[in-house]
Amino acid sequence: MSFLARARTVARPGFSRWMVPPAALCIHLCIGQAYAFSVFNLPMTKLIGISKSAPDDWKLTELGWIFSIAIFFLGASAAVFGRWVEEGGPRRAMFTAGVCWAGGFVLSAIGVYVHQLWMIYLGYGVFGGIGLGLGYISPVSTLIKWFPDRPGMATGMAIMGFGGGAFIASPLSVWLMQRFSSPTHIGVAETFLCLGAIYLCFMWVGATIVRVPPDNWVPAGYKPPVAPQKLITKNDVYVYDALKTPQFWLIWWVLCLNVTAGIGVLGQASAMSQEMFPGKVTAVAAAGFVGLISLFNMGGRFFWASISDMIGRKNTYFCFFTLGPVLYILVPWTGSIGSVTLFVVCFAIILSMYGGGFSTVPAYLKDMFGTRYVGAIHGMLLTAWSAAGVLGPVLVNYIREYQIGNGVPKAQAYNTTMYIMAGLLVVGFICNACIKAVHHRFHMRPDHEAERAAAEVAAAGDPAGA
Amino acid sequence: MSNNGQNGTTPLQLVIAWGFVGIPLAWGVLQTLVNAMALFR
């Protein structure tokens, strides 16, 4: 379909680059729904029993796998399809992401209707997860090319949308379920269908308005820095060559450790606040706490990525890995003095840096490996997120269980976890400190791409199809 | 090629595009802030 071809998305003279961030937000605000999927968990445990779970109803533990499968396929699809996204252009990727994401909702709606859990695993988990992966990386390199003067801010805006998607999805889903529910029916299937339709429209609007800049385009008045900068390359590294560099794996660990520390406490924030401040923080207040730190997660994505344009990526992560351990160590102290305000302040800053870690990393990759394959390299780096998604919650939950099993009061059961999280960030600090410029032997030569294309055509044995 | 929309993109298109994503996001943030107030009551 030529409408989706990269060549059809090249901007004409007069196109404003400020149209591109809303296009990216159309995608990220939709796929950010993943963070709000938990609003469906309880209703889906009562689809048969309606007022309470019946023996044939699904268990929470079974439903928990839906999100885990989706996050796994996010990382896997971003890694596998990254190069396709980069070479096919953002419109094709956004369009496909919309089809997968909305299709996942439709298949899940059928799964709810016929009460077959495997259809939801396949729908939301597999198809939705692929939509998440494609959608997440689709606008990244396009934004970096449109904003060479502020790449951190540009990608920060889009990735902020991923954090903000849950703020829209959560109340919208609750409202839709209320509208479609009756005393004899819970309207989850209808809500899935509505969300699928809404998200498809939204994502296709994004795919329609997105544009790539013409080759060698620069913003009016922008002068690329003449003096060479040690940690900002002017060369490109081929996507699979990036995997051979120590820099890729150091950044992989930087992201993984930063996310592990944040995701572990994000998942347990509600329980942690109530158990550390018994009698002071109610269940309703704890829900408010989760909402508040999620706002900082979203705001931090824009704030820290924008700051990184001024102070550099390495220095931004230096802030995360020096401030983070201090704040984690302070958390048990806030519990011991009973200060809810200080506890909230600590976690607000911690979660802002968790979000900042996500949004600053595309620009870090661009600095290290150039803009040519940054989207694909970013896709492969997202496997760090999948790993952290398992590691973080496991660390927090198991250490808490172990502590309580050994007679530690609930209010103090998180202390060791906080110290371990601080330790993880210290390891992240070391990884970040070890990052140096990529060796020139990894840089693409001007004739590199032509050689590679010829080799691929020969390997395929079908020049026309290639 | 410019980035001020003098020929192609009009200010109205920019307002519509940003409103399309900004209004739902602002609504969601407002809902979350209202719920978060329970923490300080």
CA–CA separation, A7 and A332 (whole Å)? 56
Sole residue written with tokens 């490996």:
A369
> A436-447: per-residue pLDDT in tens?
999 988 988 766
Would you place residue A90 in the very low, low, confident or very high pLDDT band (cuts 50, 70, 90)? very high
- Does the distance separating the beta carbons of B27 and A168 come in below 8 Å? yes
Both A190 and A244 in one domain: the answer is: no
Predicted confidence at residue A65, as pLDDT, reads 85
Q: Is B25 in contact with A29 (Cβ distance < 8 A)?
A: yes
For residues A84 and A186, state if they share a domain.
yes
Query: What is the per-residue pLDDT for A315?
Result: 96
Q: Whose CA is closest to A191, among A209, A173, A168, A167?
A: A173
Complex confidence, ipTM: 0.86
Average pLDDT of the residues in A206-228: 87
Res B4: pLDDT: 43
Q: How far is the C-alpha of A169 from the C-alpha of A175, rounded, in Å?
A: 10
Percent of chain A past pLDDT 70, that is, above it, reads 95
Q: Which are the contacts of A166, defined by CB distance < 8 A and separation ≥ 6?
A: A32, A33, A34, A35, A36, A294, B28
- Of A71-85, A162-176, A346-360, which has the strongest mean pLDDT? A346-360
Domain that holds residue A185: 1-215
Do A167 and A245 fall into the same domain?
A: no
Residue among A14, A167, A291 minimizing CB distance to B7: A14
Indicate the range of A86-90, A260-264, A447-451 predicted with least confidence. A447-451
Are A203 and A299 within one domain?
no
A21 closest CA partner among A153, A214, A133, A148: A153
CA distance A26 to A460: 36
pLDDT at A275: 84
The residue of chain B with its CA nearest to that of A215 is B1
Cα distances (Å, whole numbers) of residue B29 to A175, A232, A294: 16, 35, 10
Are A52 and A104 within 8 A, CB to CB?
Answer: no
Q: How far is B36 from chain A (nearest CA, A)?
A: 4
* C-alpha to C-alpha distance for A432 and B41, rounded to whole angstroms: 41
- Closest C-alpha among A237, A430, A421 to residue A317: A430
Residues A448-455 have a mean pLDDT of: 61
B22 contact residues in A (CB cutoff 8 A):
22
Question: Does the beta carbon of B34 lie under 8 angstroms from any beta carbon of chain A?
Answer: no
**Where does residue A181 fall: left (phi above 0), alpha (psi -120 to 50 degrees), or beta otherwise?**
beta
Note every long-range contact of A407-410, with CB atoms under 8 Å and residues 24 or more positions apart, other chains counting. Answer: A410/A275, A410/A278
**Chain B: residue whose CA lies nearest to A13:** B1
Do A273 and A347 share a domain, yes or no? yes
pLDDT digit string (tens) for A379-399?
999 999 888 877 887 787 788
Residue A174 belongs to a domain with what CATH number?
1.20.1250.20
Whether A19 and B13 lie within 8 Å, measured CB to CB: yes
pTM: 0.87
Residue A406 lies in a domain: yes
Is the CB of A209 less than 8 angstroms away from the CB of B37? no
Mean pLDDT lowest for which of A285-289, A332-336, A429-433, B27-31? A285-289
Question: Does the structure show a pLDDT above 50 at A214?
Answer: yes
Whether residue A449 lies inside any domain: the answer is no
Is A447 inside a domain boundary? Answer: no
Based on the fold, state whether residues A103 and A187 are members of the same structural domain: yes
Considering only A29-33, A218-222, A442-446, which range has the smallest mean pLDDT? A442-446
Examine the domain organization and report whether A258 and A182 are in the same domain. no
Selecting from A14, A220, A294 the residue whose C-beta is nearest the C-beta of B8 gives A14
